[in-house]
Amino acid sequence: MCIPFLEEFCLKRIEARVKTPFGEIVIEGDTPQEILNMLDLIPENFVEKMSDFIFNRLTLSGVQLKGIIELTTEGPIIVTRENLTHYEAAGLILYASDEHKNTVTQVQKLLESSSIKSMVPARLNEMTKRGQVFKPDPNKPEFKLTLQGEKWVETEVLTRLRKKAN
């Protein structure tokens, strides 16, 4: 901290800028060691989590899912009136969920809120066999889209729904 009449003797703050897929992170400190200490505090998967968060909040709520999914306080709800298979509906819910994962119970509730009745546990187990979803932790009832599942939703499901919307 600088004393006003001794400003000429004060060191300037050091700034480190880190470019990421979602923008730029700026870290400031008074010394190089302070910046290194701050960098050590950042979790290993910080950039990945921020990218997912920003993608879900900005991209999904905007153009990409407009008229297909609506983000609510309860979670993503399917609003398209196009016919969807139960697999496509479950895939869309997972795709629009944080980190592309959710519990069986929550997917069931969100599909019901979307006026879609489905045997979600059976569909998710079949999607697991297809390589579209997996359980990150076998002890938890959560399912997450695989990269193959994400690509399937993007290239097949969303592409078809967007074409019909136009």
Do 95 and 64 form a contact (C-beta atoms < 8 A)? no
What is the spatial distance between Cα 146 and Cα 149, in angstroms, rounded to a whole number?
Answer: 5
CATH class of 82-165: mainly alpha
pLDDT digits (tens, 9 = 90+) for 120-164: 999 999 999 999 999 999 999 899 999 999 999 988 999 888 887
- Residues paired with residue 23 on neighbouring β-strands, in sequence order: 20
All structural domains of the chain with their residue ranges:
13-41+50-64, 82-165
* Mean predicted confidence (pLDDT) in 8-35: 80
Q: Average model confidence (pLDDT) for the chain? A: 85
Phi/psi region, residue 116 (left: phi>0; alpha: psi -120 to 50; beta: rest), is beta
**Which stretch of DSSP H or E encloses residue 47?**
helix 46-54
**Confidence check: pLDDT of 98 > 60:** yes
- Give the SS3 label for residue 14: strand
> Per residue in 65-89, pLDDT tens?
778 888 788 888 999 999 999 999 9
Question: Which pLDDT does position 61 carry in this prediction?
Answer: 44
Cut 0.85: pTM above it: no
Q: Which residues contact 136 (CB under 8 A, 6 or more apart)?
A: 101, 142, 144
Q: Which residue is it, tokens 């979790």?
A: 43
Query: Mean per-residue pLDDT for 24-39?
Result: 88
- Measured between alpha carbons, how far is 107 from 116 in angstroms, rounded to an integer? 11
Mean pLDDT across the stretch 54-75? Answer: 70
More confident residue, 158 or 60: 158
